[in-house]
Chains A and B, each alone.
Chain A
Amino acid sequence: MSSEEIIYQKATSMSQGETHYCPGCTHGTVHKLIAECLDEINMVDDAIVIAPVGCAVLIYDYFQIDGVEAAHGRAPAVATGVKRVHPDKMVISYQGDGDLLAIGMAETIHAANRGENITVIFVNNAIYGMTGGQMAPTTMVGQKTTTTPSGRQPDDVGLPIRACELLNTLERPVYIERVSCHNSPNILKAKKAIKKALLNQKEGKGYSFVEVLATCPTNWGLSPKKSYDWLEETMIPYYPLGNFRDKEV
């Protein structure tokens, strides 16, 4: 036994090597939180991640767990098929804002409404990252993107959609929470929420949903630091953090 004590190490459920994410992007942080939670709740060998289309499409390369890549927006449907075959496995649907709220809105709502015993991690960075910065359903009013060059105009394209509030109208979800990844205190809260959402599934409680407010410095045209500030100043007032549902089953 060495006199040195390990106080921090990479989660065993994470792969070695680097990710392709841009500097200041919070996908890596969210991945890390999920991986740490899987380690801590002892589900590394039983977890299956469903990859979205978007920046996180290669998520299965960054985890040492089973992975299935879904078509754009279809992750909750794919997760449903996987979970129904493997009810004892932990199925995580990891999705971005275009995937979850635009093309996959129907799949999102109906998986939640069925109360599928899965965990959905929703990374909301208010923009389409991988395709180069187009408007997302969650793009802020006035926010400039490559398809809203004058800023998002509500009279033209409507207002940003709030996923937690929308899902909170349904009876079947057991857990809905919005967290953020822009600073350490919030990252710790995010981990707590993700862990709870995963434990709910492990305990067979039902559908759990965690929205993580995230950054996209590259497509926002901001430095990482300014991105964290922008998230706090612009996104959090519109997307209030906190728990929307924590149902004891």
Chain B
Amino acid sequence: MSKKILMKGNEAAAEAAIIAGCRYYFGYPITPQNEIPEYMSKRLPEVGGTFIQAESETAAINMVFGASASGARSMTSSSSPGISLKQEGISYLAAAQLPCVVIDITRGGPGLGNIAGSQGDYFQATRGGGHGDYRVIVLAPANCQELADLTLKAFDLADEYRMVVMILADGFLGQMSEPVVLPEPTNKVFNKDWAVGIGKKNKVASLILSPEDGLTKHNYVLKEIYDRVEEDVRLYEEYKLDDAEYMLCAYGSSARICKQAVEELRSKGVKVGYFRPISLWPFPYKELKALSVGKKKILTVEMSLGQMIEDVKLAVEGSIPVDFYGIPGGMIPTPEAIEERVLSYE
């Protein structure tokens, strides 16, 4: 199974979902994630699964709701505007403590925007686009291999915490082809005693009208789970930070560009490294804070007007200056521009 296969990011994620045991996929076409439903429409019937091209993103996420309530591993995918439509269902899934995986291959916004990769949906993903006091685990891969690995991991996390897990990858990652070693199944087994259709006369609901404090108590139940996730699931990568004076901070495609900028700057004698959050929620606040000690400045790089920078500032709590370089609307920051900014600090 260690064979390298050249795969598109979208296809690698889809195959990883099947390896994870996902047998129910419901989706609606939107660029740049179309290879996921297309791949699923071909592959799922081969493994005895179900693919439905839904009438809308809203219907798709609610089909996921039904499949998840029935105890099955289920997934949907979309891109930014489509994820906006799924937020209603995501809030209901969160309320009913139903596990599922949502892949968001983001594009430029707001509105219909464009179809290029963008990182303008960090707020939507990590702050919740839906209503109510809930959280979604958000994982941000930076290459096709991670897109596959994190998708596999997402299913286990979803089942373990009974939560929605979102894969947040921009359109460039979804569309690029890279050699991928498909991950092995973890074969973890989860108790789904709460599901319908297993002869237990179970109810899966999100409405809590009584007693008066019933919903408050439920919110605290969710909070306890979120606290546990924050403790257990903080994923990140650090690179050449030991002796660094400056820290670049970026996720996804921006981080790949930062890596190149680090190499170029290092060759010029500038001591710089990078920190890449992989879990965007929970955000690795503690680790970022610890690794930032002694650095002169942090430069946050995003393909947006600056969204993750708020978490970076929360992490360092004003202990060091945090600068921002970014470009919105589906454009990619160049390593040269990042280098220029860092050189201006010298």
Contacts and interface: CB of A to CB of B under 8 A. Distances in A.
Interface of A: 45, 48, 50-51, 57-58, 60-61, 64-71, 74, 77-86, 89, 106-107, 109-110, 114
A84 B207 contact: no
A50 B96 CA distance: 14
B205 A48 contact: no
Interface string B38-80: 0000000000001010111011101111111111101000000
B3 interface: no
- In the A-B complex, list the 3 residue pairs whose CB atoms are closest, starting with the nearest: A81-B66, A85-B70, A77-B62
Given A71-B62, A71-B88, A77-B59, A84 B67 contact: yes
Given A67-B205, A70-B92, A81-B68, 17 more contacts: A45-B199, A50-B66, A66-B202, A67-B196, A70-B66, A71-B92, A74-B62, A74-B89, A77-B66, A78-B65, A78-B66, A81-B67, A83-B66, A85-B66, A85-B71, A106-B55, A107-B58
Given A85-B197, A86-B197, A107-B55, A69 B205 contact: yes
Nearest to B69: A68
Nearest to A82: B66
A84 B201 contact: no
Interface residues of B, number: 37
A85 B200 CA distance: 16
A80 B63 contact: yes
Given A80-B66, A81-B66, A85-B197, A69 B206 contact: yes
B204 interface: yes
B26 interface: yes
A84 B88 CA distance: 22
A84 B56 contact: no
Max chain A Cβ within 10 angstroms of own Cβ: one of B66, B72, B207: B66
A69 to B, nearest CB: 4
B268 interface: no
Contacts, number: 117
B155 interface: no
Interface of B: 24, 26, 50, 52, 54-56, 58-60, 62-72, 74, 88-89, 92, 96, 196-197, 199-207
Nearest to A78: B66
B59 A57 contact: no
B120 to A, nearest CB: 26
A70 B201 CA distance: 17
Contact of A66 (B52, B56, B203, B207): B203
Nearest to B65: A78
A135 to B, nearest CB: 23
A170 B197 CA distance: 29
Given A48-B196, A69-B207, A81 B69 contact: yes
B56 A106 contact: yes
B199 to A, nearest CB: 6
Contact of A64 (B60, B201, B205): B201
A173 to B, nearest CB: 16
Nearest to B204: A68
